[in-house]
Copies of this chain bind each other. A is one copy, B any other.
Amino acid sequence: MNKNLSLLVDLYELTMAQGYLYYKKDHLATFDLFVRKMPCNRSYLVAAGLEDALDYIKNLRFDSKDLRYLKKSNIFSEEFLAYLKNFRFKGEVWAVPEGTIFFANEPIIRVTGPIIEAQIIESLLLNTVSLQTMIASKASRVVTAARGREVYDFSLRRTHGSDAGLKVGRAAYLAGFSGTSNVLAGKLYGIPVVGTMAHSFVMSFKYEIDSFLAYSNIFPRKTILLVDTYDTKKGIQNAIRLGLYLKERGYRLLGVRLDGGDIVALSKLARRMFDRTGLGYVKIFASGNLDEFRIKHLLSAGAKIDSFGVGTNMGTSSDAPYLDVVYKISEVSDQKDNFLPTMKFSPGKITYPGRKQVFRVVGRNKRCVKDIIGLDQEGIKGEALLKKVFDKGRVIYRAPDLEKIRRTVKDNLRRFPQPLREVYCRDKYDVEISPGLKKLQRDLTWQLANRQ
C-alpha cells in the first residue's frame, strides 16, 4: 500500500548513523527486539508482522527526494548522504515465525550486522511488529472467549488510521477471527469479507419491513437483518415475517443482528421466537462494544449468539493499546569482528547481554513446559524459537500463507496449559534465564561499572 516509507524514521537513527559512519564504520552489532513487560490482561503474546517487517528491510532505499530533504535540514554531511544513497541492509536477521506464542523478555527478532544498518531500521521495525503483535494477541483472547463461535473484525472505522485498518484485519484473522468487514483487507490478504446492514439503511425507508424486504430482494441468500433500530422485539417480529416470506420463495434468512441493549435477554427471545416459527436456522449475530470480557459474560449468562462482530476494542487493543516493545543493543564488535557483549543499566530497564536464543522446553505430546532465554552457543535442549530469516541482503524466510499461520496459532496455543489461555488468567508461564546468560550479566555488571 504504502509508497516510500524510508524517511518514516526517528531523526536520531540518522544522526547516530552519521556518528557510526565516522567512528564505527567497520563495527558490527547485534540488537534484540523484545517486549519488556507483559501488557495488562495478557498471559501470552502472538508474534505477527514479520512478513511486513522483512519486506521493509529488504526494500529500504533512500531516493533522491529523501536525500534532498535531508540535505536541506543542514544536519548531515555530504559523505553521509552519499552513504545513504547506496544504502542497502546487508545484515542477518533471526526471528520467531509469525504465529509463535511468546512472552516478556524473549527476543522475537535479532539483528546482527553493521551497526549503522542495524540502527537505521529500528523505528519502523518496532512500529510494524508491535502493531500486528498487539492486535493478534488481543484477537486471540477474543477467539478464546467465543468458545468456537465465529468472530469477525468490524473495527475499520475506529482503528488508528488506514494502515492499522488493514493490518488489524490481517492480525485478527491470523489469530483465529473468521473474517473482516474490511474489503481491502479481504482483497490484499485473501480474508473472507462479511457485512450486514446499518441503521441508516433501515431508517432510509418509511417502514422497517420495507427496508428488510428491499435488502432481501437484492441479497436473498445473504441477508442479515439489523433489528434494533426502533423497538427490538418488533424488529424481530418483522424479521420473522421476512424470514417466512423468504422461505416461501425457497430462500433462507441468514440471520439477524443485535447491536446493543440487553443482548442476553434479546438473544434468548429472538432464538425462541425463530425456533417457534420454524426458522430455527436463522442465526443471531451480536455486535456493539464487544471484547473478550463481554463475550465471556454474555455466553456465561446463556446468551444465544452464533457469531460476534468485534470492532473498536479489538482493533485498538483498548485495554492495552500499546506494547512495551524495544530494540536494544546486546553486543558490539571491534574492527576485527570480535563481538563483545553489552548491556544497559538504566534503573528498571536493565537488559540481557550477548547473542541470545529462546529455547522452548517441551514435554509429552509436545506440551510446552517452560522457556529458557539463553546464549546462542549454550545449546540448551528445547525448540530454538529464533530462526534465520534474512541473510546477505535477501529474505530467506518462506512466509507461510495466512491460512497456515492461522492454523499454527491454533495448534501452538493448544500446547500451552489451559489456565494460561483463560480470559481471566492468573497463571504465569515459566520463562527462565539460563545459567550462562546469568553469569554473563553478572560478569558484565562488574566490567561495565568502569565505563564511566
Q: Which residues of A are interface residues toward B (Cβ below 8 A)?
A: 1-3, 5, 7-16, 18-20, 22-24, 27, 29, 31, 66, 69-70, 73, 75, 77, 115, 119, 122-124, 126-128, 130-131, 154, 156-167, 181-184, 186-187, 193-201, 203-209, 214-215, 217-219, 222, 228-232, 234-235, 237-238, 259-261, 312, 316-318, 321-323, 325, 327-329, 332, 342-349, 448-449, 451-452
Contact = CB atoms under 8 A, between A and B. Distances in A.
Contact of A127 (B14, B126, B165, B207): B165
Contacts of A157: 10, 122-123, 126-127, 130, 325, 327
A23 B212 CA distance: 12
Contacts of A321: 160, 316-318, 321
Given A183-B9, A347-B261, A162 B127 contact: yes
Contacts of A23: 205, 214
Contacts of A259: 346
A159 B160 contact: yes
A111 to B, nearest CB: 11
Contact of A328 (B166, B200, B343): B200
Contacts of A182: 8-11
A237 to B, nearest CB: 8
Contacts of A232: 346
B5 A184 contact: yes
Nearest to A183: B7
B154 A195 contact: no
B229 A344 contact: yes
Contacts of A13: 195, 198
A234 B66 CA distance: 39
Given A20-B204, A73-B193, A130-B157, 16 more contacts: A3-B3, A10-B154, A10-B183, A14-B183, A19-B214, A23-B205, A29-B200, A123-B156, A127-B156, A131-B161, A159-B160, A163-B164, A203-B332, A207-B452, A230-B452, A260-B348
A311 to B, nearest CB: 9
Contacts of A24: 204
A384 to B, nearest CB: 25
A153 to B, nearest CB: 10
A9 B180 CA distance: 11
Contact of A8 (B8, B183, B204): B183
Nearest to A342: B203
A200 B452 CA distance: 15
A162 B8 contact: yes
A222 B342 CA distance: 27
Given A20-B204, A183-B7, A346-B261, A162 B124 contact: yes
A218 B19 contact: yes
B452 A234 contact: yes
A323 B315 CA distance: 12
A79 to B, nearest CB: 11
A156 B235 contact: no
User: What 6 A-B pairs have minimum CB-CB distances, sorted nearest first?
Assistant: A11-B195, A161-B163, A12-B195, A160-B160, A321-B321, A163-B163
A329 to B, nearest CB: 4
A167 B158 contact: no
Nearest to A259: B346
A219 to B, nearest CB: 6
Contacts of A2: 1-3, 162-163
A297 to B, nearest CB: 18
A31 B156 CA distance: 19
Contact of A204 (B29, B162, B322): B29
Interface centre among A23, A75, A200 (most CB of B within 10 A): A200
